[in-house]
Structure 1
Amino acid sequence: MRRFSILFFAVFFSTAVHAASPSDASIEELLNSMHAEKIMDLMLPAIDKSMHQSMAMATEGKTLSAKQQQILDASTAKMMALMKDEMSWDKMHPMYVQIYRESFTQEEIDGLVAFYKSPAGVAYINKMPAVMQKTMGLMQTRMAEMIPKMKAAIQQAVEDVQNSK
């Protein structure tokens, strides 16, 4: 029985050690290796561009008066300022640390740090802004194609509800 207890505790503790939560220092090293702050900063111009395109799509190509355009531009600027503030690294950083701590083991964080410091990882980091920009562009195209279909489906649903009385 004693051997079984020793074996049980050895397995239990080795598993617990093996699946240890990562340290904040290792998460910081990973975020630095990933250039997470820089990537967040690079996303904001893409979001700004997307927001302007969305506003243009919302007006459906109608010509706006100078005053209407000014109001639209001011609204877009306010939303972008809010987004920049809410998605600032200072506000997002603690969330990233928490998510990585809850999602990865120390061993996994160590492996990710090794990857992001490798030539393949460095290439991945360097090419991600272009990948994200291309993705956003293609998504805008898809959204432009999808919005009229969504509007038609919504309109049909409203008509169906009205006709069901």
Structure 2
Amino acid sequence: MFRTRILVFLVALCAIPTLAVAEKTTPAAPPTDEKITLSIELMRVMNFDQTMRTMQSQMRGMMEQQFESFAKCPSAQPVMREYSGALTDQIMGNLMDESLKVDVAAIYADVFTVEELRGIVDFYHSPIGRKMVERMPELMEKSMLITQDRVKAMVPELESLSERYASRIREAAKTCEQDSDATESSTEE
């Protein structure tokens, strides 16, 4: 049950939109240097680094709150807080890596044309665009709270769903192990 709740929490966390990226239906041309440069500028004017730090702080708070329900015993609460902090640090340590910025910039460069990137950068340099960036942490926090509340309400259903599939998954995994063992023994002969 503990693993189910962590999984549910992490799924909800991943569902929270942190970056708005438009969807294209046709394959894009490989990004050019200009597109990458514009994409990096877009991330800069959107305060990507600050957004990630805010997300880390909010995630830590959400995880501590989520884990409080697991630690009914007062002596377990400090351990749960430490665990939620370590878990948050691990997740965010990977997400705050510079390579993520490169990957996200490549996505923007892939999805948007040079003209679109210029227009979006111009928007974020405008007064209303700067206002949007300024208010984004508040929007994210409120979105996260709504998502968290909805996921909490779904926990019993998700646990039931997990329980219904757990034995089938275990049985399927055993079949895979048996198939793997059979393959290994036939290659050894």
Determine if the TM-score, normalized by the shorter chain, exceeds 0.5: yes
2:12 is matched with which residue? none
Instruction: Determine if contact 2:63/2:84 at 8 Å carries over to the other structure.
Output: yes
Deviation, 1:22, is 5.8
1:43 is matched with which residue? 55
Residue in structure 1 matching 2:133, options 125, 128, 142: 125
Query: 1:7-41 CA deviation, whole Å, 9 max, x = no partner?
Result: xxxxxxxxxxxx98461322222122111111111
Instruction: Determine if contact 2:39/2:108 at 8 Å carries over to the other structure.
Output: yes
1:77 is matched with which residue? 85
1:139 is matched with which residue? 147
Q: Does 1:63 align with 2:72?
A: yes
- Unaligned 5+ residue runs, structure 2? 1-29, 169-189
Which deviates more, 42-51 or 143-152? 143-152
Deviation, 1:154, is 3.8
TM-score, length-normalised on structure 2?
A: 0.63
1:30 is matched with which residue? 42
Deviation, 1:159, is 9.2
When Rg is computed on C-alpha atoms for both structures, the one with the higher figure is 1
Instruction: Determine if contact 2:68/2:77 at 8 Å carries over to the other structure.
Output: no
Q: Does 1:95 align with 2:103?
A: yes
TM-score, length-normalised on structure 1?
A: 0.71
**Aligned-pair RMSD on alpha carbons?**
2.6
Count of residue correspondences: 139
Instruction: Determine if contact 1:20/1:106 at 8 Å carries over to the other structure.
Output: no
Identity of aligned residues (%): 22
Note closer, same or farther for the CA distance 1:55–1:91 as it changes in structure 2 (3 Å cut).
Answer: farther
Residue in structure 2 matching 1:105, options 90, 102, 113: 113
